[in-house]
Amino acid sequence: DKTGTITKGIMSVVRVVTPEHDLEMHETLPSDADELLLLGALNNDASVQKDKRVGHPTELALVDAAIDVGIDIRSARANMARIGEIPFSSDRKYMVTAHRRDNEDIMIIKGAPERIFEMCDMSAKERHRFEQISDEMAQKGLRVLAVATKSGPMVKEDEKILHASCVGMVALQDPLRESTKSTIEELNSAGIRVVLVTGDHPSTASYIAENAGIEIGENGVITGTELDEMSDDELQSRIARIAVFARVDPRHKVRIVQAWKNRDQIVAMVGDGVNDAAAMKVADIGVALGSGTDVAQQTSDMVLLDDNLATITSAVREGRVIFDNIRKVIVYLLADSFSEIILIGGAIALGMPLPVLAVQILWINLVTDGFPHLALTTEPGEDDVMKRPPRRKEEPVVDRDMKILIFIIGIVTDIGLLLLFWMLLGRGYDIEHLRTIMFSALAIDSLFYVFAVRSLRHSVLSIKLFRNKWLNVAVVGGIALQIAAIYVPFLQELFSTVPLLLQDWMVLIGLSLIKLIVIEITKEVLVIVRRKRYAASI
């Protein structure tokens, strides 16, 4: 929805048009313009007091304009007491109030110019002038309302109004939020399509959309009337090409949301009014503005307390970062566990002694690796996190590329360590010495490749080393704890370890670097394959 979402929702009257005049609000207004503003304030449910403003932004703007020209709203409403009302509806697109003035009943009608002009007695020349000015103002992004009066008693709600007198038109401005254009650009970069849905005139909606950075294209704007003429199948086939929906009512909004959902898309509906509630309920995610109606907020799944569309962008980014980090932790932990299982299973299958003891595995999983995997959850997010298309709904948490990466990490570790264990065993190494090497290899190895899984898409060389200070602290701490487990006497007894020689450490570091290189090559190959798959799907 447009008002209050991509615009500020703070409207002001900027232009007044009567049968005789066409003036900006900052100019000195004649009496017929004052009369127009008075009628706009009477056909109005807004209330403006010193410390409280209640009402729709459009109606508040009309009251403000009347006050600005010196009209005493309270006295005017007392002198012309309201005795009847037909509320505004999206179908009618106008509101009627009945008042008593000098023992005479009078109706005030306010609404969409095209609806008001149909009710009024005016010459073809007068109507052409009003329509021309209305279109011109709409093309500048202004919301245009026409006001008419008719003497006589209140009509019934379904009764057609004829022979009214057109008093004039007012143009209201609702400026874009400063962050709107950049926010929409960022959402587009993230593969999130932004569609504008509004009750405004098509020209007004198009102007706002273009200035907000919404690409309209050819035939990208349709009205509620055109929607009514479309079947659901036709709407579903065309909806991807439509960027702006104008002059729509609540049932149209529901159809629009449903059509996108039928195309297997995740739909978020952002709105602030009662007329948005039904569409918000149908959408996958209903988002209400903090300044919106209670109905909208109660229907929604999320409320923007700051009324800022940019908050949605922040929420999307945060969600993607969290999901990425979950995947990184899964790869790190499963690859580590897979390596340990195959190493021990392979040694048993080949008839060799256990390469590591249970207490050593427990130390690696809970202490040495425990802190790095917790630190991975604090990764701030990759630079391209908002430049990727959204995940498919059916995509699992552990996808094919992750399984391949986990398998490669495990196999590289197992083959290298099993060969090392077999060679050193054949050379007559003491079993405690061998187990200390294997114990340290598993620990140091995982502390090295944790840097590789900081990104499952990009090279470790492209990631800023000190961006995640907690991971650096965790790795340094893990290395210190592992060294303590090997060289501190009481820990040596606990873990059955012996001090390692310099040449042992050189071998361990060499194996870890080889594994890191293999992981980086695997990641690059997976990225190339992923790009080819994506290109083939377009």
Which residues touch 255 (CB under 8 Å, ≥6 apart)? 227, 232, 235
CA dihedral sign of residues 295, 298, 304, 309: negative
CA distance 173 to 211: 14
- Which of 446, 524, 523 minimizes the C-alpha distance to 478? 446
Q: Which residue type does 43 have? A: N
Tell me how far apart the alpha carbons of residues 238 and 91 are, in angstroms, rounded to a whole number: 24
Residue type, 92: R
Order of all β-strands in the sheet with 221-223 = 196-197, 244-246, 221-223
Q: Give 282's contacts (C-beta < 8 A, 6+ positions apart).
A: 254, 257, 258, 261, 269
- Give the end-to-end CA distance of the chain in Å, rounded to a whole number: 30
Please report, for residues 10, 31, 117, 289, 477, the alpha-carbon distance to residue 39 in angstroms, rounded to integers and kept in the order given: 21, 12, 17, 30, 75
Are the C-beta atoms of residues 328 and 380 closer than 8 Å to each other?
A: no
Give the span between the Cα atoms of 349 and 344, in whole angstroms. 9
Q: What angle do CA 6, 8, 13 make, to 5 degrees?
A: 120
How, if at all, do strands 82-86 and 53-54 pair? unpaired
- Cα 309 from Cα 371, distance rounded (Å): 37
Name 517's Cβ contacts closer than 8 Å, sequence gap at least 6. none
Cβ–Cβ < 8 Å for 328, 399: no
Question: What DSSP character marks residue 164?
Answer: B
Distance CA 200, CA 135 (A): 12
> Contact 442/364 with Cβ under 8 angstroms?
yes
138, two tokens? 């709409």
Token pair of 107 as six digits:
């109706």
Q: Which residues fall within 8 angstroms of residue 185, CB to CB, at 6 or more apart?
A: 213
Tell me, what amino acid is at 2?
Answer: K
Instruction: Give φ, ψ of 421 to 5 degrees.
Output: -60, -45
Which residues are bridge partners to 120 per DSSP? Answer: 164
Provide the token pair at 425: 């065993």
Pairing state between β 244-246 and 196-197: parallel
Whether 64 sits among the annotated catalytic residues: the reply is no
Question: Which one is catalytic: 1, 64, 307, 414?
Answer: 1
Q: Which residues are catalytic?
A: 1
